[in-house]
Structure 1
Amino acid sequence: MPKSKRNKIVSLSKTKKKGKEHKESIVNAIREAAEDYNSIYVFSFENMRNLKFKEFREKLKPTSRFFLGSNKVMQVALGRSVSDEIRPGLYKVSKLLRGDAGLFLTNMPRDEVESCFNKFEENDFARTGTIATEKVELLEGPLDQFTHEMEPFLRKQGMPVRLNKGVVELVSDFVVCEEGKPLSPESARILRLLGIKMATFRLNLICRWSPEDFELYKEGLDESDVESA
């Protein structure tokens, strides 16, 4: 009788070792980069879009390097206190790696970095759970933007529609989403069909470190916030 694949034994020690080695490789890469580049920035991101981020990263690759991933691992790499920081003042950078954040290490002049980040903005369709930026309401009547084949799909999204002489028609007004409320899966699909983009992918600079100084960009933060983090 053949052996069941469901009962195959997996060595936990091997999987743990692989995870540890991966973390160590990231730590080493960050530490090497910290020696190779003139300045280090922490940035936060909103509505991440992997493809667009990859394009931005490739554009700056000749002079810079990005790191995204576990904040804890990046903090360990830089040092979380004065006693274990790898370069003077880097523990302050480590303290600001919170939430959706990443590291940007570069040899670019400060004004060029600020210009690149401030100009970078990409509008895209919002995903489920995104907070709606406006109210979208469809009024009773024909929906000429949809073909008759779309009628069953629109009904599945909760829209009160019917076919009237081959034309998709709303039998009553329909609110797709309300401003300030999270989008449902159905709302996100309908907005995509309508061509309405409510998500903006942005990268926001939080701080800048160089061997000469340390600067905070984010409003409402000061040195005391770093010290107490």
Structure 2
Amino acid sequence: MPRSKRSKLVTLAQTDKKGKENKTRIFDEVRSALDQYKYVWVLQLDDVRTPVLQDLRSDWTGSKLILGKRRVLEKALGDTPEEEYKDNLHQLSKVCNGLPGLLFTDETKEVVEAYFNAYSKQDYSRANSKSPIDFTIPAGIVYSRGGQVAEEEDVPMSHTLEETLRNKYKIPTKIKSGKITLNEPFVVCHKGDTLNVTQALILKQFGVAASEFKVKLVAYYDGDNSTVTKFEDN
């Protein structure tokens, strides 16, 4: 009788005790979930932030989302035919690029695709990303939203932030009558510009959350027929 794939011994990389314990925990969680759920999906979660993970864990309470270092997830799935935990899982392991997450669920393919196609989260732009808008801080009193809303709906930015704007962000502000002011408009960025660190921080300072975060579906494994389906754009 051939030896069961589940009985194979897999050695994780040498590391410190605490790190090894965490890797072992994630490894065991993945294999336990493979036994429990019909489907496992690979999600692309590069640059993911806490609110997105909170949404996913809340919305998929009957399923299980596991994050971890790419190599640990690959080892848990099995990255060769000889080491795979179930038939053909090594094919799924090969698409765990970047920062992947594994979603284990019994929900159908149609339900999973409908959810992630509809899901989006407003987010702050990061350095090296493309600016989603033109943003210029108007001359005069500097308001907390930097001219994005009408003055009567906004409040002047606290005078305690003037030094930060001037020294850290290189915005030529001054204090007049206890309020932060600009003598002339200050252009932060144009739509489509590649943002540097300072520009991204200025947008965040003024509450510009105009970027959209989407979770990309990479591939999924069907435990009933041991097949892996990859999405074309990946």
- Scaled to the shorter chain, the TM-score interval is 0.7 to 0.9
Task: Tell me the residue number matched to 1:226.
Answer: none
| TM-score normalised by the chain length of structure 2 | 0.76
Number of the residue aligned with 1:84: 83
1:100 aligns with 2:111: no
Q: Aligned with 1:84: secondary structure?
A: coil
Q: Is residue 47 of structure 1 aligned with residue 31 of structure 2?
A: no
d(CA) in 2 for partners of 1:182 and 1:113?
33
Percent identity reads 25
Distance 1:144 1:203, change over 3 A: closer
- Match of 2:204, SS state, is helix
Distance 1:155 1:26 in 2: 46
Q: Equivalent residue for 2:123?
A: 124
TM-score (norm 1): 0.78
Matched, 1:155 2:166: yes
Long gaps (5+) in structure 1:
1-14, 222-229
What is the Cα deviation at residue 124 of structure 1? 2.1
Post-superposition offset of 1:46: 4.4
Match of 2:153 in 1: none
Q: CA RMSD in A?
A: 2.4
> Number of residues paired by the alignment?
204
Contact 1:49–1:201 (Cα < 8 Å) also in 2: no
Q: Report the secondary structure of 1:114's partner residue.
A: helix
Please report how far the alpha carbon of residue 56 of structure 1 lies from its aligned counterpart in structure 2 after TM superposition: 1.8
1:167-196: CA deviations, max 9, x gaps? 533223322134332332x43343234321
The residue type paired with residue 160 of structure 1 is: P
Is residue 2:19 matched to residue 1:19? yes
Task: Please list every run of 5 or more consecutive structure 2 residues that lacks an aligned counterpart in the other structure.
Answer: 1-14, 145-155
Distance in 2 of aligned mates of 1:200 and 1:104: 21
Structure 1 47/24 Cα, relative in aligned 2: closer, same or farther at 3 Å?
closer
Counterpart Cα distance in 1 of 2:179 and 2:33 = 60
